Amino acid sequence: MMMDLHIHTERCGHAAGRPSEYLAEARRAGLEIVAFTDHLPLPDGYDPDEEYAMRPAELGEYVAEVREVAHSSGAAPRVLLGIEADWIPQHRAYTAGRIASHAFDIVLGSVHFLDDWVFDDPRLIDEWSRRDVRDAWTHYFETLTQAASSGLFDVMAHPDLVKKFGYVPPGDLSALYEEVAAAIADAGVAIEVSSAGLRKPCREIYPSDDLLSAFCRAGVPVTTASDAHSPREVGRGLTEVRDAVARAGYTKIAYFEAREMREVAL
Ligand code: ZN
Ligand code: FE
Ligand code: FE
Ligand code: ZN
């Protein structure tokens, strides 16, 4: 089943295109299920340039627009109402409240903030050369597992986003990956396999083959996604994503409807 469960819109301030344009591309690509998952408004002070997420006043309009597109789409592709929410530990209540304010089908949880450092923002890439890469990775995966255990999210998006700019600690990462996979399995959430990394300096699917295999062995369900930020990116790289999923040992992939997981054959 061809599914792309992570799609943005121009509302977030760093993507282009309206939902209807993304839907047209999804139809052209022959996708069966898509989820709009634009960035949930951030707490006060976290998005000073309005470039990370939609503004608070836009959330209701976003929901209405996705519903309208879903209605107009009819049977194929099926359109799910989703949201991508940042995990910011000290703002759990804010995030929970925003998520609860609409009847989402699917809620992606993302770690883009390590304390006040938006580690995946290309404008802040210099910070990587000032940091200890291993410490950054440890901090990232601790934050990811904390997010997974928060109860707020259905799917952890781009689970090794920390590698985006190609800063990877030397040595064997298998012990770290086993630990992460076990913690995510305990948390009872799915993880996303995303082609977005193929279009970034790391040139690799999120997550890596090694981490994805660890997730498979731990029994963590997976979704498939492009993280499209322009209509032409919808469905992009899904073949590579599906190959990676199969290579890791999966035979099923997941989607969410009214926040209930459904699994279908890959
Ligand atoms: Zn984005
Ligand atoms: Fe993200
Ligand atoms: Fe995204
Ligand atoms: Zn994303």
pLDDT, tens digit, for every residue of 174-214?
Answer: 999 999 999 999 999 999 999 999 999 999 999 999 999 99
Q: How far is CA 241 from CA 3, 6, 25, 81, in A?
A: 11, 13, 18, 22
* 39 CA to centre of ligand 1 in angstroms: 7
Q: How far is CA 124 from the centre of its chain?
A: 20
Predicted TM-score (pTM) above 0.85: yes
Report how far ligand 3's centroid is from the alpha carbon of 249 (Å).
Answer: 25
**Ligand 1 mean position to 241 CA, how many Å?**
19
The average confidence (pLDDT) of the chain is 97
The reported pLDDT for the residue numbered 106 is: 98
Residue 166: φ, ψ to 5°: 90, 10
Residues with CB under 5 Å of ion ligand 3 are 84, 227
Split at pLDDT 50, 70, 90, the class of 75 is confident
Cα 23 to ligand 1 centre (Å): 18
Q: For residue 225, report the phi and psi dihedrals to the nearest 5 degrees.
A: -160, 160
Query: What is the Cα–Cα distance from 174 to 85, expressed in whole angstroms?
Result: 28
Query: Cα(161) to centroid of ligand 4, in Å?
Result: 9
Q: How far is the CA of 47 from the centre of ligand 1 (A)?
A: 13
- Cβ partners under 8 Å of residue 64, min gap 6: none
Q: Where are the domains of the chain?
A: 3-265
pLDDT band, very low/low/confident/very high, at 155 (cuts 50, 70, 90): very high
Q: Quick one: 3-265 is in which CATH superfamily? A: Metal-dependent hydrolases (3.20.20.140)
